[in-house]
Amino acid sequence: MHSFGYRANALFTFAVTILAFICAIASFTDTLNSPSPTVEVKVLNINWFQKQPNGNDEVSLTLNISTDLQTLFTWNTKQVFVFLTAEYVTPKHALNQISLWDGIIQSKEHSKFTITTSNKYRFIDQGSNLRGKEFNFTLHWHVMPKTGKMFANKIVLPGYRLPEEYR
Ligand SMILES: *[C@@H]1O[C@H](CO)[C@@H](O)[C@H](O)[C@H]1NC(C)=O
Ligand SMILES: *[C@@H]1O[C@H](CO)[C@@H](O)[C@H](O)[C@H]1NC(C)=O
């Protein structure tokens, strides 16, 4: 006869094995999901555009961000961290990446939305490079699963340009 303790222990081991198995399946089915989020960004207004006393350019934009991240959500998704950057090249740096807006999305129901907002974080260049500057908006996301590995990706929206003159 096995003791109660022995049987409880065996049951526990069995339960942990099943749980590990379910977790493995969960993260595996996540890799089968090939998400196809969409985003559109419009610059509705250049609120102002100046050279600061220290010589760095700063611009304030009003943006219309319209995104559909529903396909990032599976039953294994805990939340999605999303951020929008402006990315451009200057003589000094091959990639300048300025974070303008971010958000944490907790559920699929809230993952398709349009917002009109001025940039939440300041758009400042480390120099005086922004006049007439071509840039891309890039929407980056990090998906935090309930179990398994975090994954990240982005959508690049090329072809934006800042005004030639301060205003
Ligand atoms: C923002 O973009 C969405 C999608 O393109 C559009 O339906 C909406 O009218 C725009 N809002 C403004 C204020 O331009
Ligand atoms: C902007 O996007 C274009 C087209 O995808 C790409 O060739 C270019 O390298 C991007 N610029 C930056 C600074 O990432």
Per-residue pLDDT reduced to its tens digit, 107-158:
999 999 999 999 999 999 999 999 999 999 999 999 999 999 999 999 999 9
Res 149: pLDDT: 92
Residue 68 C-alpha to ligand 1 middle, in angstroms? 13
Under the banding of pLDDT at 50, 70 and 90, the label for residue 161 is: very high
Encode pLDDT of 9-49 as tens digits. Answer: 777 777 777 778 777 766 666 666 689 999 999 999 999 99
Q: How far apart are CA 23 and CA 64, in angstroms?
A: 38
- Ligand 1 centroid–CA 30 distance in Å is 32
Give the atom of ligand 2 at the shortest distance from the alpha carbon of 136.
1
**What span, in angstroms and rounded, lies between the C-alpha atoms of 5 and 13?**
12
User: Tell me, what's the pLDDT at 140?
Assistant: 98
Question: Which of 96, 134, 139, 156 for a ligand 2 pocket mutation test, highest count of atoms within 8 Å of Cβ?
Answer: 156
Longest Cα–Cα distance of the chain, Å, equals 88
Residue to mutate (ligand 1; options 40, 112, 114; most atoms within 8 A of CB): 114
Against a cut of 0.75, is the pTM above it? yes
Would you state the pLDDT for residue 52? 96
- Which ligand places an atom closest to the C-alpha of 114? 1
pLDDT (tens digit per residue) in 37-92: 999 999 999 999 999 999 999 999 999 999 999 999 999 999 999 999 999 999 99
Residue 66's H or E segment, with its range, is: strand 57-68
- How many angstroms is it from 114 CA to the middle of ligand 1? 7
